[in-house]
Amino acid sequence: MGVVIVMIAVSLPLVTLFVSGRIATALPSGGSGASTLGPTSIIASSGNPYLLPTPTHAPISLGTPEPTIMPTLIPTPPWPVFCTNEATPTPGCAQCPYSLGAETETQAQIIADLKQAGADYHIPYRLLLSQTRDESGWREKIISCSNDVGLGQIKWNYWWDLNALAQPTCGIAATNYAIFSYSGNAHLAAKLMAWIACFYSYAGSQGGTLAAPAPGTAAYFYAQAGRSYPDSLSAGSTVPSTSLLTVTPSSTATPPTSLCASVFKTRRWYSDLPSTLANPWSCPFSATSGDHTLLDITISAYNEGIADLDANGIHNQNYVTNIEQGISNLANSKI
């Protein structure tokens, strides 16, 4: 069935920008071929030469009239022209995915970077680990054929727009992350994931809050149905406020049979994230049994983009399934 029973009606020039690449399944075990670029040609000892010192435009706030966002004009680093046309490749083109050189962090260090980024943005760490492993194979020195960079496969032309993104009601501020840094790329991926989850939970294009969710968001649909969001807590329960996606229901609410709990108990990856019934990851989006959950939507939109998802629903279901099953695989491996 479709991703959303009631589609969100938004017009966001920005949302088409943040669509990740996906190269992990295409990477041979030995990397993507020899590179003529050493790490120092991209990342100078004094820092990333392509990291702009200040945003080129004001931080983007979804709660204000949306500006027309254009790709930030950041010079393309000196990597070669990629062979993207197999029928008639450009003479002298380089095969992609393209390696910028040997990885300089161990897998344990990369996992630690991703866990820290998840903690900083209140994203369950196995969600971030599974998504980035599927995207890049946990490789930072990798560029896709469409110039997607690093662990989270962040698009080169738009990474500064993602840095500039600010949504106060989601606890998201403008940042200065370096795309070629392991920690920086991990934090860009976590920031994007947190924004998507908040966008669909309650913020929408109007910058809604949990108390006053924007129309067309999950919290709005649950309120319209007379349910708390999530609807899996008893009336009067209190839960930790450490996550921007953790909600305390009204003490006067009488919770019906929980839609969120029903899904949580039948799909192991929700507890493996890890998450609990205090989090809405397992909640059917439109407060209707059988709809896709917040987790499904967040994973899908990271890859295909919010605008595409809103227009067409989830059409990368295999991708979503791989990420969700990967969450439990990581738990099985004690990662």
How many C-alpha atoms does 89 have within 13 Å on its Cβ side? 12
**Residue of 303, 245, 304 lying closest to 270 (CA atoms):** 245
Q: pTM (2 decimals)? A: 0.76
The 10 Å Cβ neighbour count of residue 318 is 8
pLDDT band (50, 70, 90) for residue 298:
very high
Q: Where are the beta strands (DSSP E) in 63-130?
A: 98-99
Highest mean pLDDT pick, 21-35, 78-92, 125-139, 297-311: 125-139
Q: How far apart are CA 86 and CA 132, in angstroms?
A: 27
C-alpha dihedral (99, 100, 105, 111), degrees to nearest 10: -60
Looking at the DSSP assignment, which residues form a beta bridge with residue 172?
167
pLDDT band (50, 70, 90) for residue 7:
very low
Looking at the DSSP assignment, which residues form a beta bridge with residue 165?
60
303 touches 332 (CB < 8 A): no
259 touches 239 (CB < 8 A): no
Residue of 135 and 235 predicted with greater confidence: 135
- The region that residue 188 occupies, defined by phi over 0 for left and psi between -120 and 50 for alpha, beta otherwise, is alpha
pLDDT band (50, 70, 90) for residue 112:
very high
Residue 135: what residue type? Answer: E
Q: Where are the beta strands (DSSP E) in the chain?
A: 98-99, 142-143, 148-149, 154-155
CA distances (Å), origin 95, targets 99, 250, 275? 10, 56, 40
Q: How far apart are CA 8 and CA 164, in angstroms?
A: 24
316 touches 20 (CB < 8 A): no
Asked if pLDDT for residue 9 goes beyond 90, the answer is no
Q: What is the pLDDT of residues 192-249, one digit of tens each?
A: 999 999 999 998 888 899 899 999 999 999 999 999 999 986 444 444 333 445 444 4
61 touches 168 (CB < 8 A): yes
Q: How far apart are CA 273 and CA 110, in angstroms?
A: 18
162 touches 179 (CB < 8 A): no
Residue 87: what residue type? Answer: A
- Tokens for 54, please give them: 């200040």
- Tokens for 249, please give them: 């229901």
- Rounded to a whole number, what is the largest CA-CA distance in the chain? 70
Asked if pLDDT for residue 137 goes beyond 60, the answer is yes
Specify the length of the chain in residues. Answer: 335
Asked if pLDDT for residue 26 goes beyond 50, the answer is no
